[in-house]
Amino acid sequence: MASLVAKVKEKAVESLSHVEKPSCELSDLDFKDVSRKNVTMAGIVSVHNPYDHDLPIVTITYKIFSNNREIGSGQLTDPGDIKANDKTRIELPTTVPYDFLWNLMKDVGADWDIDYRFEVGIQFKLPIVGKFTIPLNHTGTMKLPTLSDIF
């Protein structure tokens, strides 16, 4: 009996390994809003749903790092569903106070930009499979706003 259960389990895992899974792509991080107190940055995640039914997203967590220091983070709980057989774009905003950016100024140098790493985890809930997380990482360079951008 135990060998029968093991064979059924093995066959189920083999069948599920060939099933197409949702895919995600992380776009560049960019400035969304600049105020006198802080900067709001936003990254865009494009999620492709290969299934014939809507796919619920449970949670999206994200962190932004610069010079191995976390400068912002956030979490979207229940951001909605990804439409069936479609690609959906989701904006991930985070607010960074200027005082933290000033601490990074010695790293900025003469080119007036910040090198960053953007880490995102998108947790889905699939029928039969259950919850699973797709991790994403993106590195890039962000230009800092000039005085004319602020005022």
User: Does residue 2 fall inside a structural domain?
Assistant: no
Q: What confidence score (pLDDT) does residue 61 get?
A: 92
Other CB atoms within a 10 A radius of the CB of residue 62 amount to 22
> Is the pTM here over 0.75, yes or no?
no
pLDDT tens-place values along the chain, 151 residues long: 667 777 766 776 566 566 677 777 877 777 788 787 788 888 888 888 888 888 888 899 999 888 788 888 889 988 888 888 888 888 888 888 777 666 666 666 656 777 888 888 988 877 777 788 888 888 888 776 666 666 6
Contacts of residues 98-102 at CB distance under 8 Å and 24 or more positions apart, as own/partner, are: 98/37, 98/38, 98/39, 100/71, 101/39, 101/71, 101/144
Would you say 129 and 16 are in contact if contact means Cβ atoms under 8 Å apart?
yes
Q: How many structural domains are present in the chain?
A: 1
User: Does residue 13 fall inside a structural domain?
Assistant: no
Which domain CATH number covers 45? 2.60.40.1820
Give the count of alpha carbons within 13 A of 30, CB side only: 7
Q: What confidence score (pLDDT) does residue 47 get?
A: 85
Q: What confidence score (pLDDT) does residue 106 get?
A: 61
User: Does residue 1 fall inside a structural domain?
Assistant: no
